[in-house]
Homo-oligomer: A and B are copies of this chain.
Amino acid sequence: MALKSWFNIPPRSHFSLANIPFGIISTAATPTPRPAVAIGDHALDLQLFNAGNGFSALSVIQPHESVFSSPTLNAFASLGKPIHSAVRKYIQTIFLANTPFPHVLKDNISLQKQCLIPLKDVSYHVPMQIGDYTDFFVGMNHAYNCGVLFRGPANALQPNYKHLPVGYHGRASSIVPSGTPIRRPHGQILIDPTAKEKVPVFSPSRKLDLELELGAFLCKGNRMGEPIPIGEAEDYIFGLVLLNDWSARDIQSWEYVPLGPFNAKNFATSISPWVVLTEALEPYRTKGLESDTQVLPYLREGRAENVYHIDLEWELKTPSGDVTTVGKTNGKHLLFSFQQMLAHHSVGGCPMNVGDFFGSGTISGTEDDAKGCLLEWTENGKRSLKLQGGDERTFLLDGDEVTLKGCCGNEDGALVGFGECSGRIEAALDLKF
């Protein structure tokens, strides 16, 4: 049931009181990045809120107030889940219509004016200092569809696929907040893969694609050499964002043998700015994809509901302004949970740190319109995607803007949403070499 607030929160806002996602913002007036939470159409600036004694009724946070003056969420995340929960619930309480602490904000017009900033006036930053970024490939429908395209249905999934969460190390420096323009990359491309002489050309990518994924930030690390048991993995997962793993398919198909994707991925990776805490997602737990394979004990979770029912979609806006919702899918279409990814990633002793970031891999459903990338939609360019306004696409053109959206629930005033993750393609540079 929707929580009633004294504050005006639009009923269809992704940022209802049931959410309280955390991010890092700045404004023209105060360009220093600092933590905030999203509430309706506003950001609550936690640095100013704290400075105005906003946390006066939450004693547990007082020894840690400096986390609200940090340019990333790492310090806050490091405090651990009981503190995240206490802060989230306290902020909910402060905004309740019948808040027991009206003096903090409800009746404090001066503090409201200081620390409630319209989202339209806010600039976003990557919310955490990311030590390492790992991108997994556990959206099995996507893995299967891609496998069919390149190896046929009999060998679509590799023998290891259902035994472990397949993943690769990504490029942390490539991660940018929603809204950052995406430059079309140059790279080596093999125009005719069937030719006997395999000689690449140097060209802007002609097969620029998006990938709709979920991302998870870590709030806890392990000691090198010490695996994280699957039963403890939830303690390490701070929250989730939307992730667009921009991909240059032509660069990828030439470069990726034998060591995996590289320049095809590392030119840019966009994320939505607000980290939705796992606690806010808890009511939306559900089962992931069924597997016919028994996994090894270190990957067995205590409960079947190990992923989240998150309605996901992506839309394409052409340079002429027409918007088409292309793909609709759901966060449940994963073969492994983030907990399983973490247990696997650390089982050999790999050290994890607060701020490390995991991508799920592209999330596709099984329906025709449930594809999380163009590679699948257009069968690697073989069929054309028809858009509103009459345009067609096989891959992204300059000026196209891709926006990912994600939301849990459908009740007015109680949505737990991710907002948007968008990026617009800029023309490739005119390189002289």
Contacts and interface: CB of A to CB of B under 8 A. Distances in A.
A-B complex: 4 closest residue pairs judged by Cβ atoms: A260-B260, A185-B348, A183-B225, A168-B259
Contact of A173 (B132, B264, B347): B132
Contacts of A258: 158, 166, 256, 260
A360 B348 CA distance: 24
Interface string A409-433: 0000000000000000010010101
A251, A254, A258 pick with most chain B CB within 10 angstroms: A258
A316 to B, nearest CB: 21
Nearest to A351: B173
Nearest to A187: B348
A169 interface: yes
Interface string A239-267: 00000000010010011111111111011
A348 B186 contact: yes
Contact of A131 (B172, B187, B426, B433): B172
Contact of A259 (B183, B225, B261, B426): B261
A348 B171 contact: no
B167 A353 contact: no
20 contacts: A131-B173, A159-B190, A160-B254, A160-B255, A160-B257, A164-B255, A166-B259, A167-B262, A168-B168, A168-B169, A174-B350, A183-B349, A186-B348, A187-B347, A256-B258, A256-B260, A258-B260, A263-B347, A266-B345, A349-B429
Given A159-B198, A257-B160, A260-B258, A170 B173 contact: no
A229 interface: yes
Interface in A171-203: 171-174, 176, 183, 185-188, 190, 198-202
Nearest to A136: B259
Nearest to A350: B266
A413 to B, nearest CB: 39
Interface of A: 131-132, 137, 158-160, 163-164, 166-174, 176, 183, 185-188, 190, 198-202, 205, 224-227, 229-230, 248, 251, 254-264, 266-268, 296-298, 344-345, 347-353, 356, 426, 429, 431, 433
A415 B296 CA distance: 52
A92 B325 CA distance: 65
A186 B227 contact: yes
A144 to B, nearest CB: 13
A254 B348 CA distance: 14
Contacts of A226: 429
Contact of A169 (B169, B254, B426): B169
Given A158-B258, A225-B429, A268-B224, A347 B172 contact: no
Contacts of A166: 255, 258-259, 262
Q: Give the one of A168, A176, A345 with max B CB within 10 A.
A: A168
Contacts of A260: 168, 256, 258-261
A295 to B, nearest CB: 10
Contacts of A298: 202, 431, 433
Contacts of A169: 168-171, 262, 266
A268 B173 contact: no
Nearest to A349: B267
A266 B186 contact: no
A198 B351 CA distance: 29
Contacts of A190: 159
Nearest to A131: B173
Contact of A163 (B200, B426, B431): B200
A201 to B, nearest CB: 8
B267 A348 contact: yes
